[in-house]
Amino acid sequence: MGRRNEILRRATEVFERQGVRQTSIEDIAKAVGIKREAIYYYFKGRREILVEIILPQSHMLLLNLRNIVHSNRLFTDKLHDAIQSHLQSFNPSYLEMTVALREDHFFGKDDKFKELRQVWNEYSNIWTQLITEGQKSGEFRSEPNPKLISYAILGMCNWLSRWFDPGKDISIEEIIETYFSFALEGLIKRK
């Protein structure tokens, strides 16, 4: 593992354990086993490290969701795949997702987070599009507000960052199927 990647990995671990706001460059340097000044050779500061940790996973989530929504599958299948894609990002990259979702750090006004905010806004909008198109197709009930439904599903999925531990007895596959069933029961059109 190169030094830059090692810094990112150790920073992710420290951010997850202490929280982003409570983590200093000194804390990250200590975790890597280098002097604080050496961090600045690779990164301008803590915010740049944070963006480097979160942005690749965020782009991957967005790309996967775009592909799912544009597929020629039933909307119930698309919903399952979207939930699966989102929740699988917690395993094995759960630390990155935990750091990304535990704090509101990337919704601030800082320009360093502009691209990240854009990715997450587009991601939310595509979730809303998925629900809207499922409603228009007649597969999903038409009366719930699609934006509220998409936020409810994302909220349910994102709360995993507060309690999920990949080493414990609940598998990510079980969580995916449970969450999908729970979401679908509220969306499926009754005949």
The residue behind tokens 């349910």 is 156
Query: Do 176 and 87 contact (CB within 8 A), yes or no?
Result: yes
In the CATH hierarchy, which fold is given to the domain comprising 54-187? Tetracycline Repressor; domain 2 (1.10.357)
What SS3 state is found at 140? strand
pLDDT profile of the chain (191 residues), mean per 10: 89 85 92 93 89 86 96 96 88 58 57 81 95 94 90 88 77 90 77 63
Q: Where in the chain is the domain with CATH 1.10.357.10?
A: 54-187
- Locate 22 and state its tokens: 């409570």
pLDDT at 30: 95
pLDDT at 103: 58
pLDDT at 43: 92
CATH 1.10.10.60 assigned to domain 1-43? The reply is yes
Q: Where in the chain is the domain with CATH 1.10.10.60?
A: 1-43
